[in-house]
A = this chain, B = another copy of it.
Amino acid sequence: MSDEPAPDTPNKMRARRLGVVTPDSAIVFMREDCHVCRSEGFDARAQVKLSHGARSVIATLYHVTSDLLRHDEAGLSDTAWRRLGLHGGEMISVSHPAPLTSFATVRAKVFGKPLGEAATRAVIEDIVARRYSDIHLAAFVTACSTKPFSADEMTALTSAMVETGDRLSWDQSPIVDKHCVGGLPGNRTTPIVVAIVTALGLIMPKTSSRAITSPAGTADAMETLAPVDLDLAAMRRVVEREGGCIVWGGAVQLSPADDVMIRISRALDIDAEGPLVASVLAKKIAAGASHLVLDVPVGPTAKIRTEAAAESLSSSLMHVSKTFGLTTRVVHTDGRQPVGRGIGPALEARDVVSVLHGDAKAPADLRAKAVTLAGVLLEMAGSAAPGGGVDLAEAVLSDGRAWSKFQHICEAQGGMREPPTAVHTRPIPAPRDGRVQAIDNRRLAMAAKLAGAPDAKAAGVELHVRLGDAVEAGTPLFTLHTETPGELDYAIDYVVSEPDIIALTAP
């Protein structure tokens, strides 16, 4: 094959998969002296449009000056390759993308103009089509965070996020759902809540996320107990048979703009109220929920740090829910320390099983919290009289019906299994006598991640103490679990360098 392109295909290049992983954003590598870069005047870092058949993707172009590529080759990152549906050897075309006209809306927002409905929709459409570069996305997320969003703006953003993704619809009603605003390690109530309410006949088709920056998402923990990677048809079969499921939301594209924006918010560690409300509600509305309970943990190292912030967030969540006909109750919970003992996929799964199984040593806080949230849902959906939800939830948990239902759901999702156990463990002792005064959620989560969670399923942190506990010098405060000795060393280094992750009262 000649190194020269066919003369009648000036913008055609042979696609080559480079095996470069660029989550969420597409990259293309081309020789800077190739015919397309020259004829189209593409600079390094230009945004270019790659097309193959009916599919196209906007990619960032990097010039290559070495022999890494031939002159007629376009080297694609895995994201670009996948979005174009390529298999190998195809010719793709490379062209200038259409101007990003929706960004005028972002620019106007930067200078103080509120987001309108149609304009917001155009922005979100472009984000979903991956037409925004990281720079554009960061400007949008920042502009949405600088001023309190008006209720209209939250509604506009929520609506745009719902409408630019898949929507699930269900024959039955009510459809109940549950969400935690996050920031609290170990807080794995979802599988327990699903088991309780479906055991009582409610419909709860739960899709959950994997961890992005936390040591485990619900999908990661659940995956150690049963398959969660179900497509929409399989998910429907499980819900029809058992009334509920706990699956990974990745198979359905509910509010896909949210996933893109969350990546930027996390990188910036900025989580403003307006975008947060839209992010939470859009996914639930798209999932077809009619009744929603929201867990908002409040604590100095949780995402929501003060009661005032929680109040403001709750009021916005309620207002926007109402606009979309979604019945929502917000429950403020204790976010001063992790919930349960395990932090990490398998460790959290073991907590879930021990609560459902009714073990004597099951974490009482996790059990109480799950029962509270399930109780709220039971009352909202009319399965329990007002004030009677908690007792009903407690009953179905105590008598084993929830445990039985959970096992059936796992079987329906593909078969229940045993969570893995870590090979290496290391208890971290209390340096002296004292009482537990504070637990830093963020740094404990960091220790679990350094131990390998969520990718190493068995890795994480097992917490042995709770606020107010009296400890003696040398008794373990928590235990690190890892799958490799390197990760154990790394996690130990971290917790040694941060001796006050669990702060004791002054000696």
Interface residues of A (CB under 8 A from B): 10-11, 17-23, 27, 29, 32, 35, 38-41, 43-45, 62-68, 77-78, 96, 103, 107, 110-112, 133-139, 141-143, 145-147, 264, 267-270, 272, 449-450, 452, 455-456, 483-487, 490
Contact = CB atoms under 8 A, between A and B. Distances in A.
Contacts of A19: 64-68
13 contacts: A20-B66, A21-B62, A40-B487, A41-B450, A65-B78, A103-B268, A107-B268, A107-B270, A111-B145, A135-B135, A139-B142, A139-B268, A142-B143
A116 to B, nearest CB: 18
A79 B202 CA distance: 58
- Taking the full assembly, how many copies of this chain does it contain? 2
B135 A20 contact: no
A62 B145 contact: no
A63 B77 CA distance: 10
A454 to B, nearest CB: 10
Contacts of A21: 32, 44, 62-65
Given A135-B138, A136-B268, 15 more contacts: A10-B486, A18-B66, A20-B63, A21-B44, A39-B486, A39-B487, A41-B449, A41-B456, A41-B484, A43-B455, A110-B142, A136-B138, A138-B138, A139-B142, A139-B268
| 8 nearest A-B pairs in the assembled complex, by CB-CB distance | A19-B66, A138-B138, A21-B63, A142-B142, A39-B486, A146-B146, A135-B138, A19-B65
A166 B272 CA distance: 38
Contact of A146 (B29, B103, B110, B136): B110
Contacts of A29: 20
Nearest to A487: B41
B264 A146 contact: no
B134 A20 contact: no
A480 to B, nearest CB: 14
A449 B40 CA distance: 10
Nearest to A42: B455
A136 B483 CA distance: 30
B111 A146 contact: yes
Given A18-B68, A134-B138, A272 B39 contact: no
A269 B139 CA distance: 11
Given A65-B78, A111-B145, A143-B142, A135 B40 contact: no
Contact of A38 (B35, B41, B486): B486
